Amino acid sequence: MSFLAQDLFHFLEMHSMLATHLNYGDIFKIFIGDECKVFIANAEFLEEIMSSNVHITKSNAYKFIKPLKFGLVTSTGSKWKQRRKLITPTFHFKMLDQFLEVFNASTDILVSKLSSEVGEDWTDIYPYINLLLLDVFCETAMGVKISSQEGKNSEYAQALFRYLDIVIARAFSAWKRFDFLFQFSSEYPLQEKYLETLQTFSRNIIEKRRFEKSQQVVEKTPDIGIKRNAALLDLLLESDLTNDDIEEEMNTFMFGGFDSTTSLVTFALLALADNPKIQQNVYKEVLEVVGEEKYVSMQHLQDTKYLEMVIKETQRKYTSVPIVERHLEEDATICGVDFPKGTTLTLYLYGVHHNEKYFPEPEKFDPERFLPDGQSEGHNYAFVPFSAGPRNCVGQKFALLDVKLTIIKILQKFTILQVPGYKLI
């Protein structure tokens, strides 16, 4: 099977930014409109910033997603600490093990859909993975089986995808970054339309589930598709959070996770297509560990060590979340450099992952960089695909398990081939 990975906009931008990094060093300034950002591609600086319990405030770049109401991603101070403490238990190992049934069932549908593409000249796999992970995230977070892979709830799916497109476009636009000017763009009424669709869907689910719990209904209610084992939603409903608060955190999980996870799966498949020997090594491991078993278990996922190295190298080379930002609320001295209050620090993870100081031949795809013995030689903050420190990604174990399982099931059925003449950049 051949496929054409989508030219992800942020990847092209980050690759272009890499040239600036190579020309000007590990710390440099860039002006976007009237805003100055200090880019940092140095592991020592990242360690001091990310490990801090003081520098945890996100920059105003995250304002583009705020109309949808985000909790854990954009909040700071006491609100962030409360929500982090509340949500962390959702991703306990025992909870993750319960999600495997959803992972397996949803990925089986994906494999069935991909079977129809065998024999085609090429296949754009990104939309398939997008719908797969939308199904997974909705069912594990909200307990709602939306069946987007089978063409259901298409209005919600399209609203989600188009809203994300607008957010990304605004982030890289000199004039759409300004709320006042953005109101005159053609995208503004579309954003409001998509926003209404997304909010209505989330609020209906929350209200129905709260009512169900109040009535102590244990069994699944067929007409609304809500299940009792909706781990994240149920956990939030058991707290003292309002429906608006819960909506914030549901959005955090959905938007903070499914799009970046989609990118990671897609890039991993691209890397395997570009490196047939590595793909063969992964396939051999899948045969040895999983064989032809239809249900991929937690033990299977734990035992596929080489695949884990491949995923890590994918995260390093392609970096689904290429930057994170901090806003300094007070003057700070970081690694001997003084930064005034109000500075925006752009932690350029893509640049660190392509820094020759930490990763020789950074453009080479080499999973053996992540052999257990080799990792100890590098800086602890040279590889931070899920960020690090207090504000690291709370759902990273969830994402990695899902990525692993998806790749295993695809390789059980297909060989992934390059598209002749295709280059990502």
Q: Are strands 332-334 and 337-339 parallel, antiparallel or unpaired?
A: antiparallel
**Average pLDDT along the chain:** 84
Higher pLDDT, 425 or 157: 157
pLDDT at residue 226, as a whole number: 46
Write the CA distances from 355 to 78, 321, 365, integer angstroms: 35, 16, 14
For the chain, percent of residues with pLDDT exceeding 70 = 84
Give the gyration radius of the chain's Cα atoms. Answer: 21
DSSP of 371-424: SHHHHTTS-TTS--BTB-GGGS-TTHHHHHHHHHHHHHHHHHH---BPPTT---
Closest by CA to 236, choosing from 85, 94, 397, is 85
Three-state SS for 363?
coil
Give the architecture-level CATH label for domain 9-413: Orthogonal Bundle (1.10)
For the chain, percent of residues with pLDDT exceeding 90 = 45
Q: In the chain, what are the domain boundaries?
A: 9-413
pLDDT at residue 104, as a whole number: 97
CA distance 320 to 257: 10
pLDDT confidence of 9, banded at 50, 70, 90?
Answer: very low
pLDDT at residue 66, as a whole number: 59
DSSP label at residue 131: H
Give residue-wise pLDDT tens across range 314-371. Answer: 999 999 888 888 989 899 999 999 999 888 999 999 999 999 999 999 999 999 999 9
Q: Residue 244, Cα to own-chain centre: how many angstroms? A: 23
- Here the tokens at position 401 are 């398990």
Higher pLDDT, 230 or 103: 103
Q: Is the pLDDT of residue 123 over 60?
A: yes
Give residue-wise pLDDT tens across range 241-298. Answer: 889 888 888 877 777 777 889 999 999 999 999 999 999 999 999 999 999 999 999 9
* Cβ pair 1, 416 in contact under 8 A: yes
Give residue-wise pLDDT tens across range 392-409. Answer: 888 899 999 999 999 999
For residues 127-146, average pLDDT: 90
Entry pTM: 0.87
